[in-house]
Amino acid sequence: MSFKFKFKNINSTNNKKPICRINLNGNDIFSGAVQEQIILDTPTQDNNILRIFFENKEGKDTVLNDQQQIIQDLNFELEQVIIDSIDLKHLIWQSKYVAHDNVIDSCLFFGPKGYWELIFDSPILKWFLRTNHNKNNNDPTWETDYNFYEKVCQKLNKIQTR
């Protein structure tokens, strides 16, 4: 399954760049400096836990002025997650950020040391449609349409391109 992560507002301090580690179901699939875009390919399970760890944040990375205002900080934001060509769009907010004992729902900002977590199922499209409907109650035919789509895709896979 392919993963594309887009990050923005990647802020360094004193020549120190933020480093992340991406972990799927307990396996590290990426580790390195946060880039605007990280593309990965890795197998998934029926139920998945995706975590992005903010690896190298330390207390000294947050620089304050005399008024205790932050003037420099090591941080970044998650902007977009695309799994198997499905842009999770608003469902990216169905996640949480865990920093020590604090759990912040729907947080895409990597400020404190911790990790962002998204739990999803495969196939991702089915999960996306179901989760979207459960959240917004605006797509009552999602399952029948999904089943039609899957069925015809399987049939078409057996047919050569014109």
Partner 1 sequence: MSEIKQNTDKIIEISWALMTASAQNKLDIPGEYIWNIPVSKEFNEIRPKTWSVYSSGNCIKDKDLIEFTESVQLNKYLLDPWIVKRFEEYFPTWFKKCPRFQFKGIDEFKHSCFAQGSQETFINFYIKHRERRFRVFKGEYWWHMECWKKLGINWAYIDEDDIKSNDVVILSCPFARLGDEHPQQKELIEQCEKLGVPVMLDFIYLPNTTFDNVQIDLTPSCIESISFSLSKTFPIANARVALRMTRKKVYDPMQIANDENVANRLATGIGLECMQQFEVDYMVKKYQTEQQHWCKILGLTPTKVVHFAEGKPYTDIGRMNSKRFFSEFNDQQNRYNLGPLFANKNLLQKMGYYE
Smallest gap from Cβ 139 to partner 1, in A, equals 9
C-alpha 69/C-alpha 51 separation (Å) is 30
Smallest gap from Cβ 154 to partner 1, in A, equals 10
Which residue's CB is nearer to partner 1, number 100 or number 158?
158
Question: By the 8 A CB rule, do 78 and 92 touch?
Answer: yes
By CB under 8 A, name the binding residues for partner 1.
Answer: 85-86, 125, 129, 141, 144-146, 148-149, 151-153, 155-156, 159-162
Question: By the 8 A CB rule, do 77 and 8 touch?
Answer: yes
Smallest gap from Cβ 148 to partner 1, in A, equals 4
Question: By the 8 A CB rule, do 52 and 19 touch?
Answer: no
Which residue's CB is nearer to partner 1, number 52 or number 83?
83
Which residue's CB is nearer to partner 1, number 68 or number 161?
161
Smallest gap from Cβ 149 to partner 1, in A, equals 5
C-alpha 148/C-alpha 84 separation (Å) is 19
Strand partners, 96: 105, 117
Which residue's CB is nearer to partner 1, number 23 or number 132?
132
Which residue's CB is nearer to partner 1, number 77 or number 121?
121
Strand partners, 110: 76
CB atoms inside a 10 Å sphere around CB 5: 22
Smallest gap from Cβ 58 to partner 1, in A, equals 42
C-alpha 115/C-alpha 145 separation (Å) is 35
